[in-house]
Structure 1
Amino acid sequence: MNARQPTALVADDEPLLREALAGLLGKVWPQLAIVAQARNGREAVERFEALAPDVCFLDVHMPGLSGIDAAQRIGRRAHLVFVTAYDHYAVDAFAHGVLDYVVKPVEAERLAQTVSRLKERLQAREPASNTEALLQELALQLQRTANAPAPLRWIRAQVGGTLRLIAVDDVDYLRSDTKYTLVAWRGDGGGPAEALVSTPLRELATQLDPAQFQQVHRSVIVNLRAVSHVARNDNETATIHLKGRGEVLPVSRNYVHLFKQM
């Protein structure tokens, strides 16, 4: 491997996220040459075979071949970093520092830590000898995730002396509130209503349908169906305006790219 100019492949089926990661890599690792980008696992393998980059950044969930499927075909011929929308892939493969992963949206600080480890591994010349076994472990975990329960449909909340069952589809947004989570939903007659639940936002995030609910700030998750419009700010942040509600929700700079096409 060429230590003077390391090379990389970036694979993600979402063009905006792929470009965002490539741009961020250019900032935290300017010496890295991104020689290929791929839209799916099949393209990732094909472009790896053609260009043999030193490092592969692979989205876990891609159509056709998943990122883990692609990684199994690439094997020890490259250093592997998985990119995922979830943080529950931190199994032994990652905990032991043999493989690495970053969570979408990728943050510069977290990516810089990964880059630091990659530089050390590139000095070692070859990936770890037990890469194949660790990839098999990840493949099994991905299969278990695919068989996970259906997304949450109801949220139980205590409103005064009454236990309310709030339909998740009626929820406009959720916001972390100290030890609780504020649930803002459409109450009786469609008017805005709020309640506090003891379930942490982080835990609720794993149970919500990711196609409908999007985290836009470390303390805010919004129902995309409730969004009226998004206003971009000069400081690379944005604000979300909701249908029929006066609240304005913050979008941190790590999540702004999700709304570039809105």
Structure 2
Amino acid sequence: MNLPTALIAEDEALLAENLRQELARLWPELQIVAQAAHGQAAVDAALAHRPQVCFLDIRMPGMSGLEAAAAMAEDWPEGTPFPKLVFVTAYDQYALQAFEHAAVDYVLKPVQPERLAQTVDRLKASLAPQPDALQAAVQQLRGLLGNGGPVAAAAAAPAAPLRLLQVAVGNQILMVPVEQVLYFEAADKYVRVVVEGETREHLVRVSLRELLPQLDQQRFWQIHRSLVVRSDAIERAVRDEAGKLTLHLRGSKDRLGVSRMYAHLFKGL
């Protein structure tokens, strides 16, 4: 008999251990296949172990629990059951309303045994593989991230979007108009800035997460957790036999892949 499996992502070791112990008491058959102390570790462990349930702390170093869940959904292999998501959060009225609206399960921390028991009962009743589980999770996460849920992927858009990028090149600082940027690509602690013209590019010392709120959200579209493209530079979106979208840009040979989290942006009229 295959035993149910779970991952716990929590950066506070005592809280992670408390959750593990409570789960062992309430659901002895559940196997904790991995524990992670930050968002990227949670993504890596989930993709490696493919647990049936993920308990994700909302506030973790680097990626939040929501961002980690979105990253899992982007890279999850087709045809493999997507895990049930349970978010662990400190009390926040707006966060709880967002979770309830999206029909995503959550528990408050410190974890209350009675509330966790309800979650365990729901999980036990819903662990049978569901063919549309991945798409359902993607839609839930889009709503939570896109509507400024418990922890929005980006801060609210500024009153005046960024117009010039100041790029350090040697002993110079170049002023690069944002309207000339084809796309931004995350590169560790930097962002690669690809500018229209003869394949010009720059590196700026800022994360994509920090840069995104400064951009005009109507003009610059996030199409992957590591890519933001200028919408009016897109010539066409091509869908392959597997349904994956690739963008062709005007005046560039670069091809940009669209993750399933953002595929809904491209719909023919």
Q: TM-score if structure 2 supplies the norm length? A: 0.49
The answer on 1:94 being equivalent to 2:94 is no
Instruction: Measure, in 2, the Cα distance between the counterparts of 1:45 and 1:145.
Output: 16
Instruction: Measure, in 2, the Cα distance between the counterparts of 1:145 and 1:123.
Output: 31
Q: What's the RMSD between the two structures over aligned residues?
A: 2.4
Deviation at 1:67, TM superposition (A): 0.5
Q: Report matched runs for 1:27-176 at 5 Å.
A: 27-75=25-73, 77-88=82-93, 89-91=95-97, 93-95=99-101, 97=103, 99-125=104-130, 127=133, 129-139=135-145, 140-143=148-151
Instruction: Measure, in 1, the Cα distance between the counterparts of 2:2 and 2:151.
Output: 38
Paired residues of 1:10 and 1:37 also in contact (CA < 8 A)? yes
Deviation at 1:145, TM superposition (A): 10
Q: Report matched runs for 1:149-228 at 5 Å.
A: none
Q: Report matched runs for 1:241-260 at 5 Å.
A: none
Paired residues of 2:9 and 2:57 also in contact (CA < 8 A)? yes
The code of the aligned residue for 1:8 comes to: A
Give the secondary-structure state (helix, strand or coil) at the position aligned to 1:90. helix
Paired residues of 1:87 and 1:103 also in contact (CA < 8 A)? no
**Runs of 5+ consecutive residues of structure 1 not aligned to the other structure:** 149-262
Instruction: Measure, in 2, the Cα distance between the counterparts of 1:34 and 1:72.
Output: 21
Paired residues of 1:82 and 1:100 also in contact (CA < 8 A)? yes
Instruction: Measure, in 1, the Cα distance between the counterparts of 2:39 and 2:60.
Output: 6
Structure 1 residues 110, 27: CA separation in 2 closer, same or farther (over 3 Å shift)?
same
Residue matched to 2:210: none
The code of the aligned residue for 1:138 comes to: L
Instruction: Measure, in 1, the Cα distance between the counterparts of 2:153 and 2:40.
Output: 21
Deviation at 1:124, TM superposition (A): 4.8
Deviation at 1:5, TM superposition (A): 0.6
Structure 1 residues 21, 94: CA separation in 2 closer, same or farther (over 3 Å shift)?
same
Count of aligned pairs:
145
Q: Quick one: which of 4, 8, 11 aligns to 2:6?
A: 8
Instruction: Measure, in 1, the Cα distance between the counterparts of 2:58 and 2:151.
Output: 12
Deviation at 1:63, TM superposition (A): 0.8
Deviations 1:136-184 (A, max 9, x none): 2222213469869xxxxxxxxxxxxxxxxxxxxxxxxxxxxxxxxxxxx
Structure 1 residues 92, 85: CA separation in 2 closer, same or farther (over 3 Å shift)?
closer
Instruction: Measure, in 1, the Cα distance between the counterparts of 2:3 and 2:109.
Output: 26
Q: TM-score if structure 1 supplies the norm length? A: 0.50
Give the secondary-structure state (helix, strand or coil) at the position aligned to 2:106. strand
Deviation at 1:95, TM superposition (A): 4.6
Structure 1 residues 145, 125: CA separation in 2 closer, same or farther (over 3 Å shift)?
closer
Range with bigger deviation, 87-96 or 112-121: 87-96
